[in-house]
A = this chain, B = another copy of it.
């Protein structure tokens, strides 16, 4: 729903191509003929027809998704694992693309009226005056036009083509938010150092390695004469950035199903989630740099009209592709192929990178914290619908806020998701916890499968593919080497500092599991105006297909070949007995380097109590002088937890367990989590004396079972005071008939 509105205002006006956001009025000499009345009626008919056609086109996608869902079910039912649902969606997309391309020929009743007048710019909005009536037009983007029959196909295939910004403004945010919201935080935080190393340094290394290799290939191709257009060093780096974003979806679904070692899982998942953020910021910085270079050099260069290199390149390319589009090539400083990439620019871009990244990070965290505060200090949890709506709106506003401030919305949404999971999730009512998880799970599922089926479709419906065999071979090699340059050296360095080494078979799997997916696709389709970008886009598509089908399908054999332990339960290694649990918790903390340890303590002592109902009361952790403030900010529940003070990080672990069950769809709706979990833990501590015995564990399980029963019946009990805060439940209330519930009201 929400993303819808994004489309209405937020998404539409962001054009991938140059435009002037001021009005330009065409004062056209309209023909004030009497045929207008008839024209008008015919026009309305045609508009209706067009609307119908569009509905039918959208139906194609819905049917595609429906078909995918049914086939996924069949696969899951029959336990086929060689092909993931995303791979399946791509195949169906491919099939429909083939049909649309070669099967359907809609005759078009087009008549190209060609009036002429002088316009010297392409504004965002056009006002056209037809016989005294003004029509507003909005710029959709630059198009390449062929001639004759080509145009008709264009029209048909262009109908099923989305504005690339749709991906950034509508489809990616829920996917990325879900990734953040479903992060297994304990394992993530245990490996945070390594994950950050892989995500930041690794992506930058990969970007530069791929960029350099591609530059070598492109230079060679230029010598051999295989290159049909310009391709600069910044283009190579841009290509490196977009194909460095690995996808957290496909392999990890398999990992989850097979219960692969949790550390390997955490490393891969954490890396690929942060990866996306790094890649998107990196690519946008590179674009900004390129623009600035263009601006700077544009003024220095001789007029392009007199520049033989540019003319040669452009004509050659126009001849080959029969298109008139593409202008950015023209602004590249032609002559030498090295582009102005200097140390100064590198430093500057590093600064921009840091600024954009930290800004987006701060915004995401800020909205997350605000949501936590609102849900903590209001009794909104009595109305799950309101709570869920608020959660949804706040999370979405992160995206808009970041875009409005000029940061990257997708990155902000990622960190907002992590913050929401870490703090806000604990404040939500159990009902809202389920609702929010399920909502974003669904949005993620739909968006993901839509992107993948669209990817399949694009292979045939996209008009200006440039498949260059040499470039493709080079790209595959570069991607492979770039991934290797990321994983192996970094693993070596990290192993020097890690107690729990990253074994070589883990490294091979990480190397193999570097799938490219939705983010890579979205980044590459964002701008396909120039020859270089078109070649990148086509190549990227092939890389995605290859990695999803081959690497994704080969994961299971690869795991057994590498003898990676499967069937490891992520909960087992921590909660099988309380002693082990406690020691491992301490391990989690002590394994990390000191900055992370400081953060742990700060988070546990101040942030958790401030933002959630759990943790030690602030009155105990804050200095005495802040007494009144601390009392005011601490929730009543926190005092109940005071006895537990020695049991550090318990909420960390417990909440992680609850979040980790998110991936197991069947268990999602009844996991006991949040404050309830903590309360249960608490009562367990008192009833069993906190003793780490098997008997205590059994007791706890029995209590948990009880609680489910209680929660089940609680909702049909007469509850006269809806504002009563949730307290520790130790005894099941007596059952009563459901018909006397006074709280039946509709939100």
A197 at the interface (CB under 8 A from B): no
Contact indicator A69/B393 (Cβ below 8 Å): yes
B575 near A389 with CB under 8 A, answer no
Contact with B along A294-314 (1 / 0, CB 8 A): 110011000111000000000
Q: A136 and B132 in contact (CB under 8 A), knowing A406-B48, A666-B715?
A: no
Q: Are B117 and A117 in contact (CB under 8 A)?
A: yes
A388 within 8 A of B: yes
- Tell me the smallest distance from the CB of A671 to a CB of chain B, in Å: 8
Which of the residues B22, B28, B66, B122 comes within 8 Å of A393, measured between beta carbons?
Answer: B66
Pair B257/A26 contact, Cβ less than 8 Å = no
Annotate A211-240 by CB proximity to B: 1 below 8 A, 0 otherwise: 000000000000000000000000000000
Considering the chains assembled together, what is the distance between the CA atoms of A439 and B438 in angstroms? 9
Question: Which segment of A139-147, A535-543, A582-590 sits at the interface?
Answer: A139-147
Q: A560 within 8 Å of B by Cβ?
A: no
Count identical subunits in the complex. Answer: 2
A343 on the interface (CB 8 Å rule)?
no
CA distance in complex: A499, B153 (Å): 65
Complex: how many Å from CA A166 to CA B8?
8
Assess the A295–B128 pair: CB atoms within 8 A.
no
With A294-B37, A299-B37 given, is the CB distance from A119 to B30 under 8 Å? yes
Q: Which residues of B contact A142 (CB under 8 A)?
A: 133-136
Segment with Cβ contacts to B, from A57-65, A516-524, A602-610, A685-693: A57-65
Task: Decide yes or no whether A509 CB sits under 8 A from chain B.
Answer: no
Within 8 A of B (CB), among A113-143: 113-122, 124-128, 130-143
Q: A126 CA to B120 CA in the complex, in Å?
A: 16
Q: Are A442 and B450 in contact (CB under 8 A)?
A: no
A18's closest neighbor in chain B, by CB?
Answer: B43
Chain A contact residues: over half helix, strand or loop, or mixed?
Answer: helix
Do residues B134 and A137 form an inter-chain contact, with CB atoms below 8 A?
no
Stretch at the interface among A324-332, A459-467, A547-555: A324-332
Contact between B28 and A119 (Cβ–Cβ < 8 Å)? yes
Q: Does A559 contact B (CB under 8 A)?
A: no
Please give, as numbers and ranges, the residues of chain B lying within 8 Å of A162 by CB-CB distance. 8-9
Q: Is B435's CB under 8 angstroms from A26's CB?
A: no
A252 at the interface (CB under 8 A from B): yes
Cα distance, A624 to B48, chains bound together (Å): 49
- Range of interface residues on chain A? 35 or more
A55 touching B404 by the CB < 8 A rule? Answer: yes
**Interface assignment of A362: CB less than 8 Å from any CB of chain B:** no
Does A347 have its Cβ within 8 Å of any Cβ on chain B?
Answer: no
Pick from B36, B446, B735: contact of A702, CB under 8 Å: B735
> Are A374 and B70 also in contact (CB < 8 A) when A134-B325, A397-B59 are?
yes
Q: How far is the CB of A441 from chain B (nearest CB, A)?
A: 6
> Does B144 lie within 8 Å of A27, measured CB to CB?
no
Task: Name the interface residues of A692-715: CB closer than 8 Å to any CB of B.
Answer: 697, 701-702, 705, 708-709, 711-713, 715
Given the interface contacts A4-B7, A126-B128, does A744 sit within 8 Å of B259 by beta carbon?
yes
Task: With A66-B393, A66-B394, A69-B389 as known contacts, state yes or no: A119 contacts B126, CB within 8 Å.
Answer: no
Residue of B nearest to A409 (CB): B55
Do B404 and A59 have beta carbons less than 8 Å apart?
Answer: yes
CB distance from A219 to the nearest CB of B (A): 25
Among A88-96, A104-112, A479-487, which stretch is in contact with chain B?
A104-112
A447 within 8 Å of B (CB atoms): yes
Residue of B nearest to A10 (CB): B58
| Contact assessment for B10 and A7 in the assembled complex, using a CB-CB cutoff below 8 Å | no
Are B745 and A62 in touch, CB under 8 angstroms? no
Given the known inter-chain contacts A119-B30, A139-B136, A446-B389, please indicate yes or no for A38 contacting B299, CB distance below 8 A. Answer: yes
Residues from 24 to 73 in A contacting B, C-beta threshold 8 Å: 24-34, 36-41, 43-44, 46-59, 61-63, 65-66, 69-70, 72-73
Instruction: Determine if A385 and B670 form an interchain contact, defined as CB atoms under 8 angstroms apart.
Output: no
Is B47's CB under 8 angstroms from A112's CB?
A: no
Cβ of A747 within 8 Å of any chain B Cβ, yes or no, is: yes
Query: In the complex, are the beta carbons of B385 and A572 less than 8 A apart?
Result: no
B133 in contact with A122 (CB, 8 Å): yes
Q: Which residues of B contact A130 (CB under 8 A)?
A: 119-122
Question: Is residue A253 contacting chain B, with contact meaning CB distance below 8 A?
Answer: yes
Asked if A22 contacts B133 (CB within 8 A), the reply is no
What 1/0 flags go to A363-403 for Cβ under 8 Å of B?
A: 00000000000100011101111101110111011001101
**Complex Cα–Cα for A30 and B305 (A):** 14
- Which residues of chain B are near A65, meaning CB under 8 Å? 389, 393
Does A76 lie at the interface of the complex (its beta carbon under 8 Å from any beta carbon of B)?
A: yes
Q: Cβ of A443 < 8 Å from any Cβ of B?
A: yes
A327 and B133 contacting across the interface, CB-CB below 8 Å: yes
Q: Is the CB of B746 within 8 A of A253?
A: yes
Tell me, yes or no, whether A600 is within 8 Å of chain B by CB.
Answer: no
Q: Which residues of B contact A140 (CB under 8 A)?
A: 125, 135-138
A114 nearest CB across to chain B (Å) = 5
A400 is contacted by which of B58, B122, B256, B403 (Cβ under 8 Å)? B58
| Pick from B27, B396, B664: contact of A741, CB under 8 Å | B664
Q: Is A739 an interface residue when CB atoms closer than 8 A count as contact?
A: yes
9 inter-chain pairs at a CB distance below 8 angstroms, sorted by A residue, are: A23-B151, A33-B120, A37-B295, A55-B403, A120-B131, A133-B325, A385-B442, A385-B665, A667-B741
Top 3 closest A-B pairs, CB basis? Answer: A117-B117, A708-B712, A37-B298
Q: A65-B389, A76-B386 are in contact. List 18 more A-B contacts (CB 8 A).
A: A9-B55, A10-B51, A10-B55, A13-B54, A22-B108, A22-B110, A33-B120, A37-B294, A38-B295, A41-B291, A43-B122, A70-B380, A134-B325, A135-B143, A136-B139, A257-B745, A431-B666, A666-B719
